[in-house]
Amino acid sequence: MLDPTAMFTMSYGLYVVSAADSEDKAACLINTATQVTAEPIQVSVAVNKENYTAEVIRRAGAFTVTVVDETADMPYLGNFGFRTSANFDKFEKYGCETSAVGSPYSPEHICAVVACNLVQTVDVGTHYIFVGEAVDAEKVEGAAAPMTYSYYHTTLKGKTPPKASSYVAS
């Protein structure tokens, strides 16, 4: 028997992954980001192939990950998670800074930012796993604790969107 809800016991966080090329800037909310090597530091993120952000990451050859903190509310999460960057500026409301790799990121509601050059893309069916080598990383002084996916579900009563890597149809 395969019980997909067993995956809910795995620890996840909430992250915004972003990228920019000469044409566009894009960002989306994800729940799958992790450090995969120590030297050099490499980070992987899983992004649904249908997300506009995946296309921009591929073109840009770089991405930035921000770790969302527990001060983020549902309007913030919805801004980055439930709209497309193809026709909506996700940075207009929450500010925009530029990382060391040229990716936009919002400085609001984050506890860390990691800028990566893309080194590998792995097609895993519905998603791409983008692996990037970190060229810059910093913690945000005085930030709240990182938001876990459990906190998102239990405290904020958030739902898992269909494009999330952990989505299970009802």
Q: What average pLDDT does this structure show over 68-84?
A: 94
**Token pair belonging to 96:** 């925009």
Nearest 5 degrees, angle CA 114-CA 116-CA 119?
Answer: 150
Say how far apart CA 119 and CA 126 lie, in whole Å: 20
CA torsion, points 150, 155, 157, 163, in degrees to nearest 10? -30
Residue 90 is encoded by which pair of tokens?
């996700």
Q: Quick check: helix, strand or coil at residue 149?
A: helix
Q: In which band, very low, low, confident or very high, does the pLDDT at 46 lie, cut at 50, 70 and 90?
A: very high
107-139 residue pLDDT tens:
999 999 999 999 999 999 999 999 999 999 999
Is 166 a member of any domain?
no
Q: Which tokens belong to 3? A: 């019980």
What CATH code is carried by the domain that includes residue 62?
2.30.110.10
Residue 3 maps to a domain: no
User: Does residue 17 belong to any structural domain of this protein?
Assistant: yes
- Is 7 inside a domain boundary? no
Q: Which of 4, 50, 9, 5 is nearest to 26 (CA)?
A: 50
Q: How many domains does the chain have?
A: 1
Record the pTM: 0.89
pLDDT in tens, 8-37: 777 889 999 999 999 899 999 999 999 999
Asked whether the beta carbons of 109 and 72 are under 8 A apart, the reply is yes
State how far Cα 17 lies from the chain centre: 3
Residues 119, 42: Cα–Cα separation, whole Å: 9
Structural domain of 68: 13-154
